[in-house]
Structure 1
Amino acid sequence: MENRDEPQLIKEIIASSDGLGIEQLLKLLPFQIEKRALQRRLKGLREKNLIQVKGKARSTRYYTNAPEQTQDLGRIKSIEEPQSTIPLSEEGKAILALVSHPETQRTPVGYDRSFLENYRPNIDSYLSIEEKQKLAQWGKTRDNEQPAGTYAREILNRLLIDLSWNSSRLEGNTYSLLDTELLIHEGQAANNKSPRETQMILNHKEAIEFLVESSDEVGFNRYTFLNLHALLSNNLLPNPAASGRLRTFGVGITNSVYTPLGIPQLIEESFDLILAKASQIQNPFEQAFFVLVQLPYLQPFDDVNKRVSRLAANIPLNRHNLAPLSFIDVPEESYIKGMLGIYELNHIELFKDVFLWAYERSALRYSTIRQSLGEPDLFRMKYREEIRSAVGFIVSKAMGKAEASKAVKVEAQKLPKEDQSKFTEVIETELLGLHEGNFVRYRIKPSEYSFWKTKWDS
């Protein structure tokens, strides 16, 4: 029996595109329908002069023939065009049309576990071969043979600001980029911002440092994701004990007709399945996109789920020394509409358009920054942890120059004899060049730096 809403939905999806084949239609429809049944619906729409058909056999494509739909599409596009130049695929346009309807016109849906269960790592793929090749070309760096996390460490100062700001901005945070830089590098909170917004930025900083400094330990496992959530949600949840713990009650999604899973046991099972499948995926870009899709769809935590997914998407990129994804210039509305396509339709195409565009821009930005840094110092790379530890210790103990000189010599004696002199020189150079814009590299708190600097200069 025909659902009277089905022809209208079919017509709207066709109207949102520049022509679709029947196989594309089958993928985009938010309801199950047999191919022959769809052909009958299309025939009916054509007989009513609501659509037109061009081509024959496999090349057959369906186009809108309804002026009112063209006007609707123009209104939908106007939402995006003033703030975004993200090019949309035909599938992305169709999904945008559906999720742009008022909530009262969208069908309420719940969590569909088959969306996760049916995904087979390294057999199924959200990204096409061509898309993976483009992403690899954009993200490739000259550090691909270096230890995991080398590239991210080299651009950490910039990454801390960009990713903290953009990820927070996508949550409605009103800090400016300059406000964010002052907060992260100088510990100076913006006077006209709420404590919650300030906390959100600081939480991102801590979480990014956790991922970058622990590149050899983090991964698609409970340790990483629970601690990542704990860092990002610190002092932001009504129940402080909920930080780093899976959700035990039902939640809703603002401005969506999607209701996430509400049974604690099933939430935990699905969470573990996401991690298990993600850890099996071999391609780093597919891993990144998979977690961006599946984690927010499950909503395993009380809140802060999308923030966790955005930072977790950088785990495989960081591990392979690929350019990070910091969501530079991504409009909040584009991101939200892409997520709605996943929540309400289980369609990834619109969100994938956003992902591809965002990664190309991120990679270009960090390629430019990295070129300005010159070739990395191999000695500093070899002893990066020892250098960080020594500088951090001296500052935390507020040592003056004489006391620091003795401490450096003690630390240098722990290294092979041929490296001791060079190590001492590097530490002393770092201490002399330490200022309010770079001490974050050594996990030094602003208060520690200020107290040390007073003694150092006296």
Structure 2
Amino acid sequence: MSGLSPATVLVAIQRLAHTGHPEVTSSEVARATQGSLATVRRHLNALCDGGQLTRSGQARGTRYRLAGRTAAPEQPSANQHPAWSPAAIELGRKLDMPLAARDPVTYRRDFVEDYVPNKNWLMPQELAEALYRDGRLREQQPAGTYARKVLEQLLIDLSWSSSRLEGNRYSLLATEDLFKRGTAGSDADAVMLLNHKTAIEFLVDAVPLQGLSTAIIRNLHAVLMQDLLADTEALGVIRKKMVNISDTVYVPTQVPSVLEEMLGIILAKARLVKNPVEAAFFLWVNLAYLQPFEDGNKRTSRLAANIPLMLYNCSPLSFLDVDAHDYAQAMMGVYEIRDVARAVDLFAWTYRRSIKKYVVVMESMGAPNPLRLRYREHLSEAIGLVVRDRKSARAAMEELGLTADQAPGFQTMLLEELQKLEVFNCARFRLTMTATQAWIDANRPH
């Protein structure tokens, strides 16, 4: 990055600290500033020497923080955790026992088979109904409208939050920058984030048309794990290999026929659940418990939980601010004891945060522009002709019968959107990232 200076590096670290990353690596700063690692490290050393930063750790474990900021406490502050119920606290005590003191367990299919949709509830019924009332879009709209309206923010929030739970080291700021660039190089963390982005875009496009199906879930897994599984034949395929989960005594079933059968039963029951919040929770818990794929099961379950919410136009669930240890214990409670107490508390807490976040996002958009609503579909068609077919804006307008006389104001709106079009916002016009990037690389011909 030309003009990179110690001041630029310091500002980047301040922004990272504001997004919840008080300690950063030199690589994270390099990604945030788009500077070379050698230059960034030189400026970091200068800032440390000048007393503006402090350094801790050695070699690859080196971390930098703003001077005067104390290290984060071992236990996050209270507002970063759910207010655990007595049942969740008791479950936590059981899960805190050493592994050697806990008996090995395997998959129990009756956890799903005994569940009767709309009669049994994994989440307390009153809670599920309250969350549905708070999270739903008030006016009647086509399925998927809510998710599409907040798509740009959702892509960043859910991709980053879900990837962070998998140990991804990118900061929120670096994730935004990555989505603007749209290329991953050889960085596995970047691939993970971009896969999440593509998977969310896939759901927003496909779910309103196809609903909740086995094909949707298997495609979701394939997109999430593309270039992250050594065996490409395992993408979207029910696993035939043994999987082991670290830090738990739970051993998933290893029988492919059982995995396939139970996946079908889980999806069939989820489709019958009338309350979309309960359906989302049911999917999240059961897909992770089943472990139907070779890898990537938890991230698949997190995104799949959004499918019922999309279908019923509820606020998306982006797992904002979830602590990795809290998440692991919620999963272990299901894996080992089939107890959802901690999962319920965690889900309700983070979904309420998502609801508040996307209400604000919706409000920030203001009232819809009547002109944009009138020409919504025509705008997508025209932009598709320009980007995919490389037609001029004028030719696209003429082909669609949208000349200045026939559609006043359309040309100005079209040219403005073409100027703002990027790979990270192209899904709203039903464009692929590849086609959009090729058009941008060709200097945006229009």
With structure 2 as the length reference, what TM-score do the two structures score?
Answer: 0.77
Distance in 2 between residues matched to 1:283 and 1:233, nearest whole Å:
30
Q: Are 1:94 and 2:87 counterparts?
A: no
Q: CA RMSD in A?
A: 2.6
Question: Which residue identity is paired with 2:438?
Answer: E
Q: Are 1:232 and 2:224 counterparts?
A: yes
1:434 deviation in Å? 3.6
Q: What residue number does 2:310 align with? A: 318
Which residue among 152, 160, 173 is the counterpart of 1:178?
173
Q: What residue number does 2:140 align with? A: 145
Alignment of 1:162-311 (within 5 A): 162-187=157-182, 189=184, 195-311=187-303
Question: Which residue identity is paired with 1:430?
Answer: E
Residues 412 and 421, structure 1, Cα contact 8 Å, conserved in 2? no
Question: Which residue identity is paired with 1:441?
Answer: R
1:228 deviation in Å? 0.7
Question: Which residue identity is paired with 2:418?
Answer: L
Distance in 2 between residues matched to 1:343 and 1:397, nearest whole Å:
51
Distance in 1 between residues matched to 2:359 and 2:305, nearest whole Å:
19
Distance in 1 between residues matched to 2:174 and 2:209, nearest whole Å:
32
Question: Which residue identity is paired with 2:101?
Answer: Q
Question: Which residue identity is paired with 1:345?
Answer: I
Which residue among 429, 447, 456 is the counterpart of 2:437?
447
Residues 103 and 255, structure 1, Cα contact 8 Å, conserved in 2? yes
Q: Are 1:116 and 2:112 counterparts?
A: yes
C-alpha spacing 1:83/1:297, structure 2 compared with 1 (3 Å): same
Question: Which residue identity is paired with 1:111?
Answer: Y
Which residue among 331, 343, 356 is the counterpart of 1:351?
343
Residues 439 and 449, structure 1, Cα contact 8 Å, conserved in 2? no
C-alpha spacing 1:246/1:422, structure 2 compared with 1 (3 Å): farther
1:302 deviation in Å? 0.7
1:428 deviation in Å? 3.6
Residues 422 and 437, structure 2, Cα contact 8 Å, conserved in 1? no
Residues 206 and 231, structure 1, Cα contact 8 Å, conserved in 2? yes
C-alpha spacing 1:430/1:256, structure 2 compared with 1 (3 Å): same
1:316 deviation in Å? 1.4
Q: 3-state DSSP class of the match of 1:412?
A: coil
CA deviation map 1:124-159 (0-9, x unaligned): 0112232023212331334x4111111211111111
Distance in 1 between residues matched to 2:258 and 2:422, nearest whole Å:
50
Unaligned runs of 5+ in 2: 1-73
Which residue among 340, 345, 367 is the counterpart of 2:332?
340
Unaligned runs of 5+ in 1: 1-77
Residues 185 and 440, structure 1, Cα contact 8 Å, conserved in 2? no
Q: What residue number does 1:406 align with? A: 395
Identical-pair percentage: 40
Residues 180 and 422, structure 2, Cα contact 8 Å, conserved in 1? no
Which residue among 354, 357, 371 is the counterpart of 1:362?
354
Question: Which residue identity is paired with 2:394?
Answer: S
Q: Which moved more, 1:348-357 or 1:389-398?
A: 389-398
With structure 1 as the length reference, what TM-score do the two structures score?
Answer: 0.75
Distance in 2 between residues matched to 1:162 and 1:79, nearest whole Å:
23
Q: Which moved more, 1:174-183 or 1:125-134?
A: 125-134
Residues 252 and 291, structure 2, Cα contact 8 Å, conserved in 1? yes
Q: 3-state DSSP class of the match of 2:400?
A: helix
Pair member with larger Rg: 1
Residues 288 and 316, structure 1, Cα contact 8 Å, conserved in 2? yes
Residues 152 and 321, structure 1, Cα contact 8 Å, conserved in 2? yes
Question: Which residue identity is paired with 2:441?
Answer: F
CA deviation map 1:389-421 (0-9, x unaligned): 43133123445xxx22112220236x9x99755
Residues 226 and 245, structure 1, Cα contact 8 Å, conserved in 2? yes
Question: Which residue identity is paired with 2:401?
Answer: A
Q: What residue number does 2:59 align with? A: none
